[in-house]
C-alpha cells in the first residue's frame, strides 16, 4: 500500500444511507486510513450508485441473474475486488448472503453493520425492518447496532463495535429503524472502518 491507505469497496443493495455515512466520514477525516474506491450493487438502479457517482467513486452493478446464479456472481465479484486491489470490503445494506468460499477468500477483510445488539435479533432472515419488528415484539428496552467481521455464519463473525439505542414508547419499526441508523449505525460503521483500515496499513507498513 504505497499511498498508505487501505482500498475500500462498499457492497450495497439499495438507497445507500450507510454508504453516505461512510462517504461523509471520509470527507470529514473520521476515515483517514482508508479510501472508498469502489461501490458494487447487486441491484440495478440502486440509489447507492448515484451517491457513489456524486462522490466521484467508481460504481458497478453485478446481479446474480446476469452472472447465472450465486456462484457466478461471487466469481465475478471476487475477480473485480482482486483487480481493484481491495483491502477492505464493507457490507452496507447488502442483502445477499455470501458463501463460505467467498468469506474465506477475504478472511478478516469483510465487515458488516447489523441493526441490533448481536447476539440479539440476528442470523438468517434477520435484516431490514424485520430486526426492529422483532425487537419491538419482544419488548426489549434497548436495541442498537453492531459492526462485526463477516464469516460463513450470518452475523456470526467477531464483533468490532457496538452502540446501544433506547426504545421509546410508541415506536414503530420504521421510527426505530431511523433512530438506530442515526444514533448507532452511521456512527460506528465509519469508526469501525477506520479501526480496521488503520490496523491494515500498520501491518503492511
CATH for 200: 3.40.50.170
pTM: 0.95
pLDDT of 189 above 60: yes
Instruction: Please choose, from the candidates 37, 163, 143, 41, the residue with its C-alpha nearest in 3D space to the C-alpha of residue 92.
Output: 41
Residue 86 has pLDDT above 60, yes or no: yes
Residue 92 maps to a domain: yes
Is residue 116, in this structure, part of any structural domain at all? Answer: yes
Q: What per-residue confidence (pLDDT) applies to 20?
A: 98
CA gap 98, 131 in Å, rounded: 19
At CA 109, angle to CA 106 and CA 112, rounded to 5? 110
In-domain check, residue 98: yes
Percent of the chain at pLDDT > 90 equals 92
Judged against a pLDDT cut of 70, whether residue 135 lies above it is answered with yes
In a domain, 29, yes or no: yes
Name the domain count of the chain.
1
* pLDDT for residue 3: 60
Domain that holds residue 10: 6-204
Using the predicted structure, report yes or no on whether residue 2 has a pLDDT greater than 60. no
pLDDT tens, position by position, 54-83: 999 999 999 999 999 999 999 999 999 999
- Nearest Cα residue to 19 out of 11, 29, 30, 27: 11
pLDDT for 96 beyond 90: no
Question: For residue 1, what pLDDT is reported?
Answer: 40
Active site residues: 114
Inside any domain, residue 1: no
Q: What is the pLDDT of residue 97?
A: 85
Mean pLDDT (the chain) is: 95
pLDDT tens per residue, range 143-172: 999 999 999 998 999 999 999 999 999 999
Q: Is the pLDDT of residue 4 over 90?
A: no
Amino acid at each position: 500500500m504505497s499511498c498508505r491507505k487501505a482500498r475500500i469497496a462498499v457492497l450495497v443493495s439499495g438507497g445507500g444511507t450507510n454508504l453516505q455515512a461512510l462517504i461523509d466520514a471520509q470527507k470529514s477525516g473520521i476515515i483517514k486510513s482508508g479510501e472508498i474506491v469502489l461501490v458494487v450493487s447487486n441491484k440495478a438502479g440502486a440509489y447507492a450508485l448515484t451517491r457513489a457517482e456524486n462522490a466521484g467513486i467508481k460504481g458497478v452493478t453485478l446481479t446474480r441473474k446476469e452472472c447465472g446464479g450465486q456462484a457466478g456472481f461471487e466469481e465475478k465479484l471476487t475477480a473485480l475486488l482482486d483487480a481493484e486491489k481491495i483491502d477492505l470490503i464493507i457490507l452496507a445494506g447488502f442483502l445477499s448472503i455470501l458463501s463460505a468460499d467467498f468469506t474465506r477468500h477475504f478472511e478478516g477483510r469483510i465487515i458488516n453493520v447489523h441493526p441490533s445488539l448481536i447476539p440479539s435479533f440476528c442470523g438468517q432472515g434477520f435484516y431490514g425492518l424485520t430486526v426492529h419488528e422483532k425487537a419491538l415484539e419482544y419488548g426489549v428496552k434497548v436495541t442498537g447496532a453492531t459492526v462485526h467481521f463477516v464469516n460463513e455464519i450470518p452475523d456470526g463473525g467477531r464483533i468490532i463495535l457496538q452502540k446501544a439505542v433506547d426504545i421509546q414508547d410508541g415506536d414503530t419499526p420504521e421510527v426505530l429503524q431511523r433512530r438506530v441508523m442515526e444514533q448507532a449505525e452511521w456512527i460506528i460503521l465509519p469508526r469501525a472502518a477506520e479501526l480496521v483500515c488503520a490496523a491494515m496499513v500498520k501491518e503492511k507498513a
